[in-house]
Structure 1
Amino acid sequence: MSFSQVFHRTIFPTHFITCRVQCLQSPKSDLFHLPFSRTLRTQKSWKDLHQYLCQENVILKIKLKAVKKEAELQHKNWITYENRSNRLLLLEQPWEPSLKKQKIMTHETATLIAGEKILVGLDSFKEIVGRGSTIIDKILFISEFIECKAIVSLIVRPRRFGKTINLTMLREFFSIPIHPDNENYRYELFKDTKIMERSDVYNKHFCKYPVIFLSLKGYESCSTWSSMRARLCQHLATLYEDHHYVYNQVSHKMLNKSCFDSISSGKFKDGVTENALFYLSKYLKNYHKNKCIILIDEYDHPLNVAYQYQYYEEACSFFASLFEALLKDNDENLKKALLVGVSRITKSGYLSGLNNLTVFPMYNKEFANYFGFTEDEIFILLQHNNKEGQLDGVRQWYNGYRAGNGLHLYNPWSINSFINKGTLEAHWINTGGTKMIKDLFWNSTEDFKNNTSILLRDCTINVGIMEDIDYNMLNQKSNIDQVLWTLLYYAGYLTKDKNDNLCIPNMEVSTEWQEWLTNCNSFELDSILKAGEGRFDLKIEPTEKANFKIGVYMEFKVLKHDKHEKHQNKEKLQNKANEALEQIKNKRYFFDLPKFIEQCVICEVTCQGKNVYIVGEVLNSW
């Protein structure tokens, strides 16, 4: 095939060539310089030339579109002073794209955008790529998401499994740039990645949709429903402020300005709050003439907090109304929606009213390789950071999550932390989100504790997990074990083997289980150390929610030790201990014990030299 055929048949249609030539005389003409002579000299084959010209074509189209957009903005007097909220704001100049600093590395099925360092804790795709940091290329998740038949999708994965990074990646790819953001800047984020091989997806969907991105993180301190509602109102106000450009552009019949102002201020009534996201989707659809993509991060976090602080019913009712208004029967304004979280709370939670929801847990094959690191991705990461010699240790510490299609996955947080610190240790277990599980752990039954001991011996257990979690079951002893196994599985403390039995994934997670066992929090220890005042030296009382309501009360006495006496009087030691125990019973030191305690164990510990005598009694009434 000749150069002329490559050039004319596959790349530049006549109408685009004409536009390009017309722009050569403009002040922006330097944007459209295509070095054909250099291309012919450096490309080794017609295939390479074709690929090069395809890339140049994409760049030229984007730059031409940017020039046209700038002209339109100038025509509308957008580059001017705008009076908003009684203050003058000078609109910023368009963001200038910088060349991608990373190089592309591949190994088998893995592609690495290789930078100088890994930023642990940063979960913004734009920031990671923009700063030249290292990131695994999961970008084909974009095409799988947009081509998925589900309209509203829920993906549940353990914490720190790359959910937020993937969600922000979707936002950067799909959302229509709002000045000073622009397509040229966005293109640099995705240049040389796998999505550029999918020209059909790129040309049809890149920067084509209004996107509503709502993060429900940061509610840990909301101990009351009023504080949670106030925090949510702040998030909604920020969303409205981000899309304030529709305020004067949408018809008055469509947009209620007083309602818009109320939401933007962060102070509005329940009825308005519950419909705030629905209204915003309608405004954006009307302005952009295209349906919205909805992205919601940590959808289950507010419900977990509400349960812990005992205002679950209020929060569940409110969020159910909020999401139903946005995601149910909103076909006119909704293109697709994706929610991500840790727990699968759909039938009993605030997604129970959505009949168009499709759930994708880890054991499904859909999206299996886009959350967590695969074996190939681990190898290329370690190779890039000169740590491939520690692959066996990494497997032992961090491998073991079994996903759909038989994939074995690693927790990204653990791997990135290991690469940064260089130590094989538990990095993930102190990243939060375990309070509720710890509380439930010690309210479990004897069967649960027996199965736990089996797991800690690196064995598997044949226990089924529930398809959906109902928080109302957490207070029912008959279901507590099954609910707890389900929570532990979705939270990443358990995985399934090839026979669908449950097991602990790896050494890192095993250390968390061991810590739970050695730091029992269902008993309160109180050391009094006021002997002779009618009080115990040590009491161990269960909390009211504990499964076994047994209290232990101990008193310690030390008899004088005579160094010159060769043989201690053991009978004297026993008599003193028995006398002290009778004194405890007769004087009823334990009369003010909590009412929920069912049994009381009293102990007297008497010491003399190296000899210790312990006497005790179990009381069922007092």
Structure 2
Amino acid sequence: MDLRQENVLLKNKLKAVQKGAELEQQPWEPSPKKQKIMTHGTATLFAGEKILVGLDSFKEIVNQSSTIINKTLLISKFIECKEIISLVIRPRQFGKTINLTMLRKFFSIPIHPDNKNCRYELFKDTKIMERSDVYNKYFCKYPVIFLSLKNNESCSTWSSMQTRLCQQLATLYNDHHYVYYQVSQKILNKSRFDKINSGKFKDGVTKDALLYLFKYLKDYHRNKCIVLIDEYDHPLEVAYQHQYYEEARGFFASLFGALLKGNNENLEKALLVGVSRVAKSGYLSELNNLKVFPMHHEVFANYFGFTENEIFMLLQHNGKENQLDDVRQWYNGYRAGNSLNLYNLWSINSFINEGNLKAHWIDTGGTKTIKDLLWNSTEDFKNNTSMLLKGYAINVRIMEDMDYNMLAQKSNIDNVLWTLLYYAGYLTKDKNDNLCIPNMEEQFSRFIMNSLSYYDVTDKMAETNYHVFIIGLFNQAYCRGYKLISNREAGTGRFDLKIEPTEKVNFKTGVFMEFKVLKNEKQNKKKLQDKANEALEQIKNKRYFSDLPKFTKQCVICGVAFQGKDVYIASEVLNSWQN
């Protein structure tokens, strides 16, 4: 090679390195941690100046001197897990993305060597640095493919989804552009690389895009790759909602099959995270080396969500440790493994920032499918929902795996619904493996109410739907110490709903409700009023209130009439009813 060729090669290599350094957003000098270290039991907290709600970048949280729980032992757990490909299923707001970005910063080889010092500062004094064996073998030693499949909600057609994926894959290629001039042309086809990097390539290229990148990185770094995929299931949820599910499923099966199946010569380990358990449903069905870890599995149990010890430290650092019992009552209840109770990050961080015990948890997506299914569910499902809203646990089947095609099969609809509600975080399992509502934050009851007010009600189970809606509406009464009782014999009949006081509540008022539904009639306000008054008289005539506790001071009776989204309530306060 002559001097001119050497200069060209050196120039190209420098361009690639500079390109990579820009992509790392290089702070050329390391940023020392400013957080103080707190410990409680086995948990460690880096106590910073503030808590950032919604930020999901490990690097940004640490560098902004924000408070962060030390979850770095997830790194060693991931390495030591015998499975090559691990899939972790958790509800939204459980720290999945933060953890993946942490793994990325630990494993990935810095493009500019000086950046290793910055990475070291990120992990300095963390638990994983006590594991010298892990640090010496894995820290900044592996090429990492990190792919986030979030933010596809607007993709209403398969074409728009493909366009979005082209952009995501182009970003990934741009992150690793440094290989362009260094990898042998026998391996790296520059024309293909340029097409993918442009974000305008066609379907046939995209299916193998990750496999090609795998090979480029292996050739450049002389080491196997680690793969991290965030929200692996989100595109399928969007595709199902917009009716291009089969096209999406086939495409992603090919994309991830090429990346992860039979690729041991290039793949060191892979971690996928998501909300729904659809891994084996044709999407990743050919991956025999994949292991699913749902919340009730012991492995990875304490690395997603906050544990009790971690909550104590967060409250203590923010001067709220005297509110621990209230926080438990409001936000605790997600059971992981055999005995671990977890809290979601969003609710706790929002409470600490705002100081208010209220419902902070929000579902950022994935509920439209469940809402649609609710209106096709059976009466058994609605009866079980009523039991949940009254504080009971129910024994129903959670599916080990599901396919979105099952959603159209009426014979499976209840099992599919319970499975979706469980994995989305609306429900959890108790110590007997029965489903129950996690806590007072009432995501489930609010979700049921919002869903059942979503459409006009015209089906034959309309009264059952309204019944569940009202129980959800009054679920807060149960949380405040009242009893919710429905469809029970009393007096000379069977009431629809009773809200009964207990001795511990301040306002010892009992409430009875009777529901009536107008069906197959034109909207008629007078008929609706008459129906409500008929329900009110039924309560009186059948003396449902005769079995209220003697300490009850007051009784409110309500006749409630529904038609579509219209409602009329006739009510009366009884101060004397026990004779």
Q: TM-score, normalised by structure 1?
A: 0.72
**1:210 equivalent in alignment to 2:143:** yes
Cα distance between partner residues in 1 of 2:367 and 2:142: 37
Name the SS for the 2:313 alignment partner.
helix
2-structure distance, mates of 1:102, 1:91: 23
2:443 paired with 1:443:
no
How far does residue 77 in structure 1 lie from its aligned partner after superposition?
Answer: 5.5
Shift of residue 435 of structure 1? 1.7
Deviations 1:317-366 (A, max 9, x none): 00000000000011111111110000010221411111111111111100
Deviation at 1:413, TM superposition (A): 1.0
Q: Provide the residue aligned with 2:520 in structure 1.
A: 600
Are 1:475 and 2:395 matched, yes or no? no
Change (3 A) 1:421 1:83: closer
Q: 2:207 aligns with which of 253, 269, 274?
A: 274
Structure 1 counterpart of 2:455, one-letter code: F
Question: Could you tell me how far 1:211 is from its partner in structure 2?
Answer: 0.2
Partner of 2:334: 401
Output the CA distance in 1 between the equivalents of 2:461 and 2:264. 48
Q: In the alignment, residue 313 of structure 1 is paired with which amino acid?
A: E
Cα distance in 2 for residues equivalent to 1:169 and 1:82? 25
Whichever residue aligns with residue 405 of structure 1, its letter is N
1:138 corresponds to 2:76: no
One-letter amino acid of the structure 1 residue matched with residue 344 of structure 2: N
Deviates more, 1:456-465 or 1:294-303: 456-465
Tell me how far apart the structure 2 counterparts of residues 282 and 265 of structure 1 sit (CA, whole Å). Answer: 19
Change (3 A) 1:431 1:347: closer
Q: For 1:199-348, list aligned pairs within 5 A.
A: 199-348=132-281
- For 1:365 and 1:285, the matched residues in 2 are separated by 33
Which residue matches 2:556? Answer: none
Aligned to 1:523: 455
Structure 1 SS opposite 2:61: helix
Per the TM alignment, residue 193 of structure 1 is displaced from its structure 2 partner at its CA by: 0.6
Select which of 296, 302, 305 maps to 1:369: 302
Unmatched tracts of structure 2, length 5 or more: 1-6, 465-518, 536-560, 564-579
Question: Within 2, Cα distance between the matches of 1:612 and 1:411?
Answer: 42
The one-letter amino acid of 2:47's match is A
- Over 3 Å counting, the alpha-carbon distance change for 1:522 and 1:332 in structure 2 is same
Q: Is 1:439–1:522's contact at 8 Å kept on the other side of the alignment?
A: no
Instruction: Give the letter aligned to residue 401 of structure 1.
Output: Y
CA distance in 2 between partners of 1:603 and 1:179 (Å): 71
Q: Helix, strand or coil for the counterpart of 2:51? A: coil
Residues 178-203 of structure 1, C-alpha deviations (whole Å, 9 max, x = no match): 12761101000000111111000001
Distance 1:344 1:244, change over 3 A: same
| Amino acid of the structure 2 residue aligned with 1:147 | E
Give yes or no for contact 1:606–1:613 (8 Å, CA) kept in 2: no
Query: Identity, % of aligned pairs?
Result: 72
Structure 1 residues 430 and 283, CA gap change in structure 2 (3 angstroms): closer
**Structure 1 segment 344-493 matched on structure 2, within 5 A:** 344-493=277-426
For 2:54, the equivalent position in structure 1 comes to 121
Partner of 2:488: none
Kindly state the Cα deviation for residue 110 of structure 1 after the two structures are TM-superposed.
1.0
Taking structure 2 as the reference length, the TM-score comes to 0.77
Q: Which amino acid aligns with 1:520?
A: L
2:338/2:431 contact within 8 Å kept: no
CA distance in 1, matches of 2:73, 2:418: 33
Would the aligned equivalents of 1:80 and 1:91 in 2 still touch at CA under 8 Å?
no
Q: Which amino acid aligns with 1:166?
A: N
- Conserved in 2, the CA contact under 8 Å of 1:368 and 1:405? no
> Greater Rg, structure 1 or structure 2?
1
Secondary structure of 1:212's aligned partner: strand
Q: Distance in 2 between matches of 1:549 and 1:279?
A: 57
Change (3 A) 1:547 1:243: farther
Number of residue equivalences:
476
Calculate the aligned-residue CA RMSD, in Å.
Answer: 3.1
SS in 1 for 2:255: helix
Call closer, same or farther: CA 1:436–1:364 in 2, change over 3 Å: same
Q: Could you give the per-residue CA deviations for residues 474-510 of structure 1, whole angstroms, max 9, x where no partner exists?
A: 11111100010011111111111111111000011x2
**Which secondary structure state, in structure 2, belongs to the residue aligned with residue 250 of structure 1?**
coil
SS, match of residue 600 in structure 1: coil
**Cα deviation, residue 405, structure 1:** 3.3
Equivalent-residue separation in structure 1 for 2:440 and 2:84 (angstroms): 38
C-alpha displacement of 1:168: 0.3
Corresponding residue for 1:193? 126
DSSP-derived class of the 1:95 partner: coil
